[in-house]
Structure formats: structure tokens, C-alpha cells
Structure 1
Amino acid sequence: MRQLIVKRLAQTIPMLFFVSIVCFAMIKLAPGDPVMSFVTPNMHAEDIERIRHNLGLDQPAYVQYVQWLKQLLSGNLGYSLINHQPVLDQILDRLPATAGLMACAIGLAVMIAIPLGLVAGANRNRWPDKLINLITYVGISVPLFWLAILLIYFFAIKMHWLPSMGMRTIGVQSAADVLKHGILPCTVLAFGFLAVYVRYIRSSTIGQLKEEYVLIQKAFGSSRYTILFRHVMKHVLLPIITLLGMSMGDLVTGAIVTETVFTWPGIGSLGMTAVRGMDYPVLMGITLFSSVLLILGNLLADILYGFADPRIKTMR
């Protein structure tokens, strides 16, 4: 296991280098000019060029990338072109809001997806399976921003039960107020994760029900409920470990649309602000930070696989 961790960490460096190059190239090829955020109607061309020079945007793209890479190797993600604040500080300031929202959404989705996936797999092609499949198809097909707007309309505008935007009510500092603001965005995100998780669990359940240990449990007289939730569920949870590892990257970027709709002060809304202002240091920092979390999440999934199924250790 130690060799696996060292090997995967060694592979991280060239992978992150490749990701940074692709991301930087895409940002430079995208239409728009960061300097336009500082331009006023009465500004002269010389002033515009002076701003471009001060931001370092008058140099070739490869020179800008090398300078950014030097800052990265020194432990600095650079400074925002818009507000001139350190990129790393902005990401770390907004990370708790996004991480809390995503963790609640993923946890809620897993708790609901496990029983739904097990029931769907155990009742293959019957009405419970068809009903759950319909829910998952809706979850996969419906755009999250549309679902978010729909929930805001019914629960915030019509019924006045829940707040429609922000993370806190002005002047209120209680945890209950934060939870109340997080209900709608958490529900939207959980619905998106739920559809994927249920499909994986259903497929795995169908395969596990064909295994010999299920037939042995039936021969011993075990009930269907016992077989499904005590024996099959242990093996079904393995794909969930992979999904959770892949979801680590979503802790940074997965809530971009939802945070924008609900004006949640997380990394997603920071990323949207950076996109509108062509603030490439912030975009590079968010992309790199997300890539690191995704790689670490996959590594964590491999480690958890070894603990969940000892046979995987021997295979490695």
C-alpha cells in the first residue's frame, strides 16, 4: 500500500503540469480581454496599454505561463487581476462554504441512493424498479439551474418557507440560519448526485444477487431483507467508494451553477466572477486546486478499497 501511495503521488506532478498547460491555453484562446475590466469611456489608448503592461498581459503567452509557473513553484498561486488579492487566500476563504454545501449534498445523496438502488436492483423490471428509474432519468436529464429556479419559485417566492439567496441573513449569525439557507442548494446538488449513485448501486445489486453467497443465504432460510441489507449491501458499497473519490474535485467546481443561482459565497461563485472578468490567475488556481483534490480523492478511494476488500491488496 505504501508503494501504491508513493507511485500515485509521483504521477501527480506530470499530470498537474499537463492540466495547467491545457487550462492556460484554453483561457488564452477564449474570447475577451481582462484589461477591459479597468477601461473607462474616457480612457486613452496609452492608459490602456499602461494597464496591460502593469498586469503583464503585453508579453507572449508562453512568457506569462512561465512566470505563473515560477510563482506556483514558490508556493504562490499569484494575485487576482480584478481585486489584486492573493488567489490562494481567496480560495481558502471560500472553501468552507463550498465544502460544507457539497459534503451535505453528497452525504444526503448517498443515504437516499443506497436503499433506492438496492430496492431497484432487487425488483428488476418490476414497478419499484421502473419508478426509481424514472426518478433517476429525471435527475440526469433536468438541468440543475432549472431545478434551482423552480425550487426558488415555489419555496421562497410563493410559500415564503425558505430564503432564496445567500448564506446568512443580514445581522443573524446562528448556525440554524446557515442551515436554513443551505436547504435549497443542498437539495438541488443532492438530486444531481442521487441519479448517478442510484444507477451504480442498482447495477451492482443486480450482479451481486447472482453470486453464490446469495443462494447459500437463501438455502439457510435468510429473509430477503437480511440478504439485501446485510450481505449484498457490503459488496454494493465498493462502487460508492469510487464515486466518492471522483466527487472530491466537485468540492471545488461542482457547485458552480448552483452557487451562482443561489448566490452562495463559495468557490463556484468565485469562479464565475473570474470567468466574467477573464481573471486567469484565479481560474488557474481553482482548476489546479480542483485537480489536486480529484487526484487525492482517487488515491483515497484506492486506499479505502484495500480496507473494504482485502482481496484487492493481494491483487496489487
Structure 2
Amino acid sequence: MRRLIVRRLLQTVPMLFFVSLVCFALVKAAPGDPVLSFVTPNMHADDIERVRHNLGLDQPAYVQYVKWLKEGLSGNFGYSLVNHQPVLGQIVDRLPATAGLVGAAIALAVLLAIPLGLLAGANRNKWVDKLVNLLAYIGISVPLFWLAILFVYLFAIRLHWLPSLGMHTIGKNGALDVIKHGILPCAVLAIGFLSVYVRYIRSSTISQLKEDYVQIQYAFGSAKRTVLFRHVLKHVLLPVITLLGMSLGDLVTGAIVTETVFSWPGIGSLGMTAVRGFDYPVILGITLLSSVMLIVGNLLADMLYGFADPRIKLTR
């Protein structure tokens, strides 16, 4: 296992380099000029070029990339072109809000997906399975931004049950107020995750029920519920571990649209502001951080495989 971890860590170096190169190239190829945010109607052309020179945007693209990469390796991702604040500081300040929101949504989705997926797989082609599949397909097909707007209209505007915007009520800073503001965005994200998780767990349950050990347990007189939750569940957790590892990157950028709709002060809304303002350093910082989290998530998933299934550890 230690050798596996070292090998995977070494593989992340060229992967991160490639990701940073592609992200930088896409940002540079995007339309728009960040210098325009500093231009006033009466500004002279020489002053505009001076601003461009001060920002380092008059240098060739490869020089800008090497300079940005060198600073990034030392933990300095530059300063925002909009508010002139350190990029890393802004991301760290907003990370708890996004991590708490997306983490709660993932946890809620997993807790609901496991029993629903097992129930659907154990009752294949019955009305329970068809109902779960229908709801899962609807959750996958419906855009999250439309679902978020629907929730705001229904629960905030029509019923007045929950607040629609922000993370705090003005003058209130309690944990209960934060939870109340986070119910709607958390529910929207949870529906998106739940729809995907249920499909994977259902498929894995169906395949596991065909294995010999299940038939042996039935031959010994074990109840269906016991077979599902004591034996099949252990093997069903393997794809769940994969999904959780892939979802770790969503802790950074998984709520961009949802945070924008609900005005949640997380990294998603920061990224949307950066895109609208052509704030290249912030865009690159968020993209690189999400890539690192995704790679770390896959590494953690490989490590958890060995604990969930000893056969994988012996094979490796």
C-alpha cells in the first residue's frame, strides 16, 4: 500500500503540470481583455499600455505561464485583477462555506442512496424499482439552476418557509440561522448527487445478487433483508467509495451555479464573479485547486479500497 501511495503521488506531478498548462491556455484563449476593467473613457492609449505592462500582460504567453507556475509552486497564486486581494487568501476564506454546503449534500445523498439503491436492485423491474428509476432519471435530467429557481419560488416566495438568498440573516450569526439558509441549496445539490449515486448502487446490487455467496446465504435460510444489509452492502460500498473520491473535487467547484442562484458566499460565487470580470488569476487558482482535490480524492479512494475489500490489498 505504501508503494502504491508513493507511485500515485509521483504520477500527480506530470498530471498537475498538464492540467495547469491546459487551464492557462484556455484562459488566455478566452475572449475578453482584463485590462478593460481598468480603462476609463478619458484614459490615454499610453496609460492603457502602462496598465497592461504593470499587470505583466504585455509579455508572451509562455513567459506569463512560467512566471505564474513558478509563483504558484511557492504558494503565491497572484492577486485578483478586480479587488487586488491575494487569490489564495480569497479561496481559503470562501472554502469553508462551499465545503460545508457540498459536504452536507454529499453526506445526505449517500445516506439516502444506499437504502434506495439496495431496495431498487433487490426488487428489479417491480414498481419500487421503476419508481426509484423514474425519480433518478428526473434528477439527472433536470438542470440544477432550474431546480434551484423552482425551490426559491415554492419554498421562499410562495410558502415563506425558508430564506432564499445569502448565508446569514442581517443581525443574526447563529448556527441555526446558517442551517436554515443552507437547506434549499443543500437540497438542490443533494438531489443531483443522489440521482447519480442511486443508479450506481442499484446496478451494483443487481450484479451482486447473482453471485454464488448470495445463493448460499439463501440456502442457509438467511432473510432477504439480512443478505442485503449484511453481505451485499459490503460489496456495494466499492462503487460508492469511487463516487466519493471523484466527488472530492466538488467540494471546491461543485456548487458554482447553485451558489450563484442562492447568493451563497462560497468559491462558486467567487468563480462566477471572476469569470464575469475576466479575473484570470482567480480562475486559474480555483481550477488548479479543484484539480488537486480530485486527484487527492482518487488517491484516497484507492487507499480505502484496501480496507473495504482485503482481496484488493492482496492483489496489489
Q: Give me the TM-score of the superposition, normalised by structure 1.
A: 0.98
- 1:42 CA displacement: 2.4
Tell me how far apart the structure 2 counterparts of residues 67 and 229 of structure 1 sit (CA, whole Å).
Answer: 54
The equivalent of 1:60 in structure 2 is 60
- 1:136-147 mapped onto 2 (5 Å cutoff): 136-147=136-147
The equivalent of 1:195 in structure 2 is 195
Tell me how far apart the structure 1 counterparts of residues 69 and 235 of structure 2 sit (CA, whole Å).
Answer: 44
Aligned length: 316
- Match of 1:71, SS state, is helix
The equivalent of 1:307 in structure 2 is 307
Q: Which moved more, 1:76-85 or 1:88-97?
A: 76-85
Unaligned runs of 5+ in 1: none
The equivalent of 1:124 in structure 2 is 124
The equivalent of 1:84 in structure 2 is 84
The equivalent of 1:183 in structure 2 is 183
- 1:45 CA displacement: 1.9
- 1:80 CA displacement: 1.0
1:15 equivalent in alignment to 2:15: yes
The equivalent of 1:224 in structure 2 is 224
Output the aligned Cα RMSD.
0.8
The equivalent of 1:111 in structure 2 is 111
Tell me how far apart the structure 1 counterparts of residues 157 and 45 of structure 2 sit (CA, whole Å).
Answer: 47
Deviations 1:200-248 (A, max 9, x none): 0000000010111111111111111111122111111110000000001
Identity of aligned residues (%): 79
- 1:73 CA displacement: 2.2
The equivalent of 2:48 in structure 1 is 48
1:248 equivalent in alignment to 2:265: no
Amino acid in structure 2 at the alignment position of 1:113: A
Tell me how far apart the structure 1 counterparts of residues 307 and 230 of structure 2 sit (CA, whole Å).
Answer: 18
The equivalent of 1:73 in structure 2 is 73
Amino acid in structure 1 at the alignment position of 2:288: L
Tell me how far apart the structure 1 counterparts of residues 84 and 214 of structure 2 sit (CA, whole Å).
Answer: 61
The equivalent of 1:156 in structure 2 is 156
- Match of 1:41, SS state, is coil
Deviations 1:69-100 (A, max 9, x none): 11112221111111111111111100000000
Tell me how far apart the structure 2 counterparts of residues 212 and 74 of structure 1 sit (CA, whole Å).
Answer: 54
1:37 equivalent in alignment to 2:40: no
Deviations 1:183-206 (A, max 9, x none): 000000000000110000000000
Q: Which moved more, 1:153-162 or 1:65-74?
A: 65-74
Tell me how far apart the structure 1 counterparts of residues 232 and 66 of structure 2 sit (CA, whole Å).
Answer: 52
Tell me how far apart the structure 2 counterparts of residues 75 and 7 of structure 1 sit (CA, whole Å).
Answer: 24
The equivalent of 2:279 in structure 1 is 279
Q: Which moved more, 1:34-43 or 1:126-135?
A: 34-43
Deviations 1:1-30 (A, max 9, x none): 001111111111110000000000000111
Tell me how far apart the structure 2 counterparts of residues 41 and 35 of structure 1 sit (CA, whole Å).
Answer: 13
1:6 equivalent in alignment to 2:6: yes
The equivalent of 1:265 in structure 2 is 265
- Match of 2:171, SS state, is coil
